[in-house]
Structure formats: structure tokens, C-alpha cells
Structure 1
């Protein structure tokens, strides 16, 4: 086996289909590409790594998108007497939006606008390539680089539109709190499930509370099935509330698409508002800088536990 061009470091988190670690590379050349000095490794037992192999193929489709986490490729390592399949991923030094919530409880609407626009640009690319992400939530939106650009990550549950349409009856995928009504009721999956999940995410980022705040476990699924979402909150501007009304429509055919939402008034002035906020911060003379480390992506930003439903389990 060829000598590895990276050195595994601390564990950053663990998901359903892989353990994520920080790794140093000494700017090594990997298949014609110079790796950054720090990358993230998503690893799993080689004999049970089909999900990671499918994920790397999907990520290759989006290698030119600045709003989807970049994958440099994949390789195999032999560690602790186990063959591991590794995805070499862009390292998100700013952590996830779930980490931001854990540190701040809720985010300023101007910041949420910026992140939401980037996520929608990523979703537009994903959906136009006939892919469904299936698991949009704060923990799967990572902040990359000095500008903390929001990028969509974790395509472990993603499928093509055709696969989603042929989904077996009774099989549900995703994280409970962010699941769309049609996926809970009819196990129906289209790109619109990602839009519903985005609406849940935006509500959570601005208000600091879950959409189905007073429910856990099966109660959440019952509320998704039988209740209309209530998203009136004093922290929401009129534009933000209207944006959520376009995302959180129970009928998926009436739900706005990513491309339509990009032209919603909530986002039209997001870049200008963000620049204004930066200017005000500079004028205030504040030189303090707050650093939010890349924490375990499975950490919870609110009370309770977000349960992720998966179609299969892989054991090391």
C-alpha cells in the first residue's frame, strides 16, 4: 500500500456512515491536486463502505460548486489492523451552524440571510442535477474559510430523483425534526423535502427554538403528520415569516423551489445587509474576535436529542 500523504489527528465527529477526523497533509500532492495543510477525513470500514463510495460519486458532480463541501478524492488506509475507506474533504474551520447555535442560542437575521442564500445556491445546483440531499439541518451546513461561507455537507443519505421516486413504501430517511409531511405520511421523496428541511433550519437559526418545540420522539412525527406548523415568533421579521410560509407548505407541489426562493425579498438584500453590518462593526472600534471551533457535529444545540432515521446501519 502506498505511503499515506496525510496524518490522522483528532476526531471531529461521528455520523451514521462514517467517523470524521482532522488530518494534516504538509500540502501533499494527491492525484495532481495540492491538498490544503488541513483536511477532514470521513472514514469507515472498507468492507462496509458502500455508502461512502456512493457519496464520493455524488460529491464529484459538485466539485465546482462553492456552496457544497469539496471532496479531493478517496483512498484506503490500514489502521489498527483494519482497512479503512477514507473520503478526503474540505476542512470547515468554522464548524457547523449547529455549533454556532450552541455558542449563541440564536443568530442575527442578517447572518441567517447570508447563510440561507448560500445553502439555496447549493440546493439549486443539487436539485438541477436531479439529486435529493435528504438531510438538510444545521449540523450538515458547515462554515468554511475566513469568510465562514456556508456549505452543504454529508451526502450519506442522498439519492437521485429516480431513486427517490422508487423508494420502497414504508422506508423513511432523514432526521425526524426536519422531515417533510409527505415523507412521514407517504414516504414520498422529491427535492421539495430539502426545502421543508431548510425552512425548519431557518426558523431554528433565527429563533433558537425547534419548529416543533414542545415535542420529542414519535410526538414530532405526529405533529408533522397532523398539524400545521406555527412559526409566528417575535424574532422573525415580516420578510422572514413570509419566506418560511413559502418553505413550510404541507403540500409539496405548492412549496417554492430553491430557484424561486433565491428571488424572495428575504434574500434579495442579504449581501448588502451583511456588508452594512461589517461596516458598522468596524466603525464601532471593536477589535475582539470570537473563534468557534469545529466541534463534534453530533452535538446538540438545543434541549433534547435529534434522532436521525436511516435506512441501513453499518458496523465496524
Structure 2
């Protein structure tokens, strides 16, 4: 062995931080916020310890709590007062996300990102307008092009309410172009789009669907969310969103798809985001409750691995706890 090569020389306490290749900061993190129009008090989310749905009246207070930890950006998800076949409360001027965005942008300095999708607002729980007989025929799901117009309406309503950025998450073909066109036509040329550019049909979403009341009432989302087996397809999906005008490129989930994060980082100059999803959060909490893992350590290590893979931004339920320690 050539003993002139000793990597351990750079692992002593004095030099270790100087040669560290990846750093994690509170400014890298986005904290999800669930705003619920059906309640007038905070409701704990059983499957996501430490998180809760908040009424619109508590949205500002909730964001201020997040800001105190050093996290500067939040992502708003809404639970509407009612649902219908087309999800019409998603673009209502007095909708839950719209009302929360107005108050948060007026009373705080938080950077507000809004989720642009229909699954929380439709009575069937799918991310768009259903094809005829979709509930009976598993080969049918969402009408792609008819859904695009509604996504544009949602994004415009969020921008009018003060959203700093919109984030379409439905994996509908052409969604970025449709939203960019709708925003520009309404005068919101400065509002960027963070596209869920590679969103996989993952088993890690379960707790979120409990939190946002957005689980499909029948079938699944395999016809519009990506097959977890496919990486080349992910690269095509991301490239299409770049062509349509996406400003930030999101990969979801994060930890099982770090290879996709790394490939997007290598191929594109855009900022890359990764969603450290509810199942990733819940499984670490569950293991920690069993005494099998140290929650603080594995949370920090998980986020560091996402950053090391190439993510510039991380949407995570660990945002407050990790940022507070940073």
C-alpha cells in the first residue's frame, strides 16, 4: 500500500469543516403548510408527527413559527370547504389557498409557493377532469387537455392572491406551457413556475394524502404519474418542461430517486428541487419512536444526501427542526 496517500489527514476536527464539500442551510429548505377551510382550530396529522392542518385564521401564525427557525419559504396546500367533479374550489377567488396567500404575503416576509393541482379539490381525488366511465374502467383516467385550462385558472388565481411562485404537481402533459401562457396573459410574467417535472407514482405519498385529504376514491395515478422503474423517461419529462418555460425543476420523491436528482442537475442549468415526501418523513419518525434510529441525525443526513445529489432546494417536513439546529 502506498502510505503517502492518507485521506484521514483531512478528517481531523480542525480541517474537516474546511474541506466539507456539501453544506446545508435553512435557506435551502421549503416548509409545507396545510391550510384547512373545514376547521376553525389546528388539527394534528396523525401520520405526520409534529404537523397539523391549520385554519385560514391561523395561517399567518403558522408561517411566522416557521420563519422563526430561519426557513424563508413555504409551500401552501389547501383542504377546501367543499369538493366537486371538476374541483372548482381550486380556482375560486375566496378559496382556501387564495385567502391564506393574501394574508401571508400581506403580513409576513415569507416567500410563498402554491401547489397547483386538483386532487385535493375533486370529489374523486384525481388530478384533473375525468374521462367518461373512468370510475368503472381502470384503463381510463384524466382528460389531459381539458385539465390544462383548469390548471391555468388555478395558477392565475394564486398569482392574483399574491403567490410568489406556483408549483404544478399533476404530471399533466403540457401543464407548464399552459400555465406559463395563462400567467403571462393575465400580466403575471414575473411569477416563476416550479414544475414537478419528474413525479413518480410512489408508495411514499400515503401520509400526505391523509394530510391533504387527496387520496383517489378509485383506481390509482399510474396513467399520469411516472413509473418508478424509468429514468430515461424522467429525463424526457424534465426536458419538455424546460422547453415549456419551467423555472425550477422538481423531482418527487427525493431519497429513492437521488439518481434522478443527480441526472437533472448534470443535464440542466436550472435550479433543481427535490421533495422529501411524507412517507420518507414518517418512516424515520416511526423508526425513531421504536428507538432504532436517532431522528435528529437521520433527518440531517437525509437532507444532506439530497443536497449532495444536486438539489438546490428541498421541500421537506423536517424543515423547521433541521433549520432550527442549523
TM surpasses 0.5: no
Higher helix share: 2
TM-score normalized by the length of structure 2: 0.28
Higher strand share: 1
